[in-house]
Amino acid sequence: MTTTMHMVASTAQPAMTSQNKCAVCSFKKLCLPLGLDEADVGRLDKIIGRRRRVARDENLYRMDQPFTSLYAVRFGHFKTAQVNPDGKQQITGFQMAGDLLGMDAIGAGRHACAAVALEDSEVCEIPFARLQELFGQVPQLLQHFHRIMSQEIMREQNVMLFLGNMRAEQRFAVFLLNLSARYAARGYSPSNFQLRMSREDIGDYLGLTIESISRLLSKFRKAGWISIDNRELAILDRPSLEALSTGVAAAQRNNVVEIRQAVAA
Amino acid sequence: MTTTMHMVASTAQPAMTSQNKCAVCSFKKLCLPLGLDEADVGRLDKIIGRRRRVARDENLYRMDQPFTSLYAVRFGHFKTAQVNPDGKQQITGFQMAGDLLGMDAIGAGRHACAAVALEDSEVCEIPFARLQELFGQVPQLLQHFHRIMSQEIMREQNVMLFLGNMRAEQRFAVFLLNLSARYAARGYSPSNFQLRMSREDIGDYLGLTIESISRLLSKFRKAGWISIDNRELAILDRPSLEALSTGVAAAQRNNVVEIRQAVAA
DNA sequence: CGGATTCTTGAAGTCGCTCAACGAACGTGG
DNA sequence: CCACGTTCGTTGAGCGACTTCAAGAATCCG
């Protein structure tokens, strides 16, 4: 593979010292330390517990487990999933480096969903009680924490939006572009990346079956919008995907229908 | 109508003084003041801005509007809705007395969705900047605020769950039981209440069409599970609704299929 | 009242699901 | 390294749940 302007979206462990210093973490601008001065980052560092490695398919935490800590993804990928009584899982999100996990558990004191590593990953453990102590001393940190929680609420609203009223194609386009944007924000290629999750996981996230995901991938490939080889994905025609994702295509279809009706009338 | 053990779920304005005192508000146990001592409730009272009346169909705030305040519903009902590019709306939630509105806007500084009154309603305006100041002085308040935000994240995950992998009947049963539980928590009848929202709103919340909602209401009525007269609803057979909502019915269906297959084999 | 909105019900259509078979990739142990 | 079983992914055919379209009934509200 040739080198590109962007780093390839691999999961290579970032270079770092023997300690888990936020100051030298390449994802500090996406994570809790955003906007803190050097001294405050140091204070945050102090309370951060041990780093924790999570092997592929291992649970970082399970549903109903008591809540003690938030986790910041250091490298690797996770999924968070709720299991409903009849056995099916709803995946509520995919998390990557810099993302914060566990905020849904603060309210009830136990985790409302399970977090599972999609590949060998590592997280920073952030004991919530100690974080709360720090809030009193570092107002900036508190503010940013509120922003992060609020963004999580917004993110979920977007999921509700596509689950509630988008067609399969549109959901899938939104999904791909969302991944693309998130990799871009991390300095990776927005056009070439690996799908870290199985087709089944994508389906459980988008409210579709594994077969539908497979068909959508084939369809998008045949349309020339993407290339897909196993889990290696390339976005070839972003404008088309964007048109789909914003519902322009749907609107156009509607126009066509209206025109047809007008002609018929 | 005869008097019952429960208050009827009407929107009568709670008795109160000329000022908006949390201390005398009947919903303080559902709202921000939960767990505060008298003195701290007084401090909270001081920062709460004017009460604000919102007429039916009026916007409390619109999408993209700059964020300045959170709002606590004092009486009445609201819906929060996102509009997607192709015109359809996704309703992200229905809010009633004691619920907090606007948390999704903290992150971006502008509202990610619109809040519309479903009937003549009233809210307490809580300027967020002043609330932030208070966080430093009243740790209990901060803790509870985190719980509320976290619960909002959990609530949305539940919406994702039914949007993503429940059938129409199941979604609708979950919806009705959720309303029931929320009215119960407010001291109203869990069995008899009014649907404050239109069929269209319910549909836009559950990811279904208005026609489907209408058919579901008829079906549930004919099955003897509910009675419905216009928007006046009564739950007649809670166990059946609960079975539906937890997917037991679906599981039973699956069992039947398995049994059929076993017999056929 | 009467017009507009909301709701109900039916008939037809479609999108995504279910079921089924097969192929590819993986990884484990010989 | 290959053989093997297992998991994962693809593709097709048929079906069913929900939508779309359409018309009429009920309700709201000025």
One domain, residues A62 and A131: yes
Q: Inter-chain contact B150–A105, Cβ cutoff 8 Å? A: yes
Residues A140 and A87 both lie in one domain: yes
Q: How many interchain CB pairs under 8 A, A with B?
A: 159
Q: What is the mean predicted confidence (pLDDT) over B239-265? A: 62
When pLDDT is averaged across residues A19-45 and rounded to a whole number, the result is: 88
Residues B35 and B134 in one domain: yes
Cβ atoms < 10 Å from Cβ of A114: 20
The C-alpha of B238 sits at a distance from chain A's nearest C-alpha, in angstroms, of 18
Q: What's the rounded Cα separation, in Å, for the pair B165 and B161? A: 6
Residue A255 has pLDDT above 70, yes or no: no
Spatial strand order of the sheet with B192-194 comes to B192-194, B232-235, B226-229
Smallest Cα distance from B83 to chain A, Å: 9
The overall average pLDDT reported for chain A is 88
| B223 shares a domain with B194 | yes
Inform me whether the C-beta atom of residue A110 falls under 8 Å from chain B C-beta atoms.
no
Task: Give Cα separations from B28 to A72, B25, B72, B99, B151 (angstroms).
Answer: 34, 6, 10, 10, 17
Q: What is the pLDDT of residue A49?
A: 81
pLDDT at A14: 44
A103 touches A61 (CB < 8 A) = no
Asked if A86's CB is within 8 angstroms of B250's CB, the reply is: yes
Q: Is the pLDDT score of B6 beyond 70?
A: no
Number of structural domains in chain B: 2
Confidence of residue B97 (pLDDT cuts 50, 70, 90): very high
Q: For residue B153, is it within any domain?
A: no
Prediction pTM value: 0.90
In-domain check, residue A263? no
Q: What is the dihedral of CA A138, A140, A144, A150, to 10 degrees?
A: 90
Residue B14 pLDDT > 70: no
Say yes or no: A32 and A141 in one domain: yes
Q: What is the pLDDT of residue A19?
A: 57
Residue B262 lies in a domain: no
Residue A221 has pLDDT above 50, yes or no: yes
- A150 contacts in B (CB within 8 Å)? 103-108, 149
Q: Within this chain, do residues B114 and B190 fall inside the same structural domain, yes or no?
A: no
- Percent of chain A exceeding pLDDT 90 equals 77
Task: Please tell me which residue, B4 or B145, carries the higher pLDDT value.
Answer: B145
CATH number at residue B83: 2.60.120.10
Q: Is residue B100 part of a domain?
A: yes
Is residue B164 less than 8 Å (CB to CB) from chain A? yes
Closest nucleotide (C1' vs CA) to B170 is: D17
Q: How sure is the predictor about B165, in pLDDT bands with cuts at 50, 70 and 90? A: very high
The kind and range of the H/E element at A112 are none
pLDDT tens, residue by residue, B190-230: 999 999 999 999 999 999 999 999 999 999 999 999 999 99
In this structure, the answer to whether residues A174 and A102 fall within a common structural domain is no
Q: Of A156, A9, A111, A80, which is closest to residue B156 (Cα–Cα)?
A: A156
The answer to whether residue A123 sits within a structural domain is yes
Helix, strand or coil for residue A3?
Answer: coil
| Angstrom distance, A225 CA to C25 C1' | 25
Residue A5 within any structural domain of the chain = no
Which is nearest to B226 in space by CA: B181, B175, B178, B192? Answer: B192
Region A197-220 average pLDDT: 98
pLDDT for position A253? 46
Mean pLDDT of chain B: 88
Contact present, B154 and A152 (Cβ < 8 Å): no
Residue A82 lies in a domain: yes
B249 pLDDT band, cuts 50/70/90, is low
pLDDT of B76 over the 90 cut: yes
Do B140 and B171 share a structural domain? no
What is the spatial order of strands in the sheet that B121-127 belongs to?
Answer: B51-54, B121-127, B69-75, B100-101
pLDDT of residue A144: 96
Q: What integer is the mean pLDDT of A41-48? A: 92
Average pLDDT on B129-156 reads 97
- Taking 90 as the threshold, does the pLDDT of residue A102 lie above it? yes
Q: How confident is the model at residue A54 (pLDDT cuts 50, 70, 90)?
A: very high
**What is the per-residue pLDDT across B188-198, written as a single tens digit (0 to 9) for each?**
999 999 999 99
pLDDT digits (tens, 9 = 90+) for A239-253: 999 999 998 755 554
Enclosing domain of residue A242: 166-246
Average pLDDT over residues A38-49: 91
CATH code where residue B202 lies: 1.10.10.10
Q: Which of A104, A150, A164 sits opposite B207 (nearest CB)?
A: A164
Lowest mean pLDDT among A22-31, A206-215, A250-259, B114-123: A250-259
Is B108 part of any domain?
yes
| Residue B34, pLDDT score | 93
Mean pLDDT, residues A97-102 = 97
Both A55 and A104 in a single domain?
yes
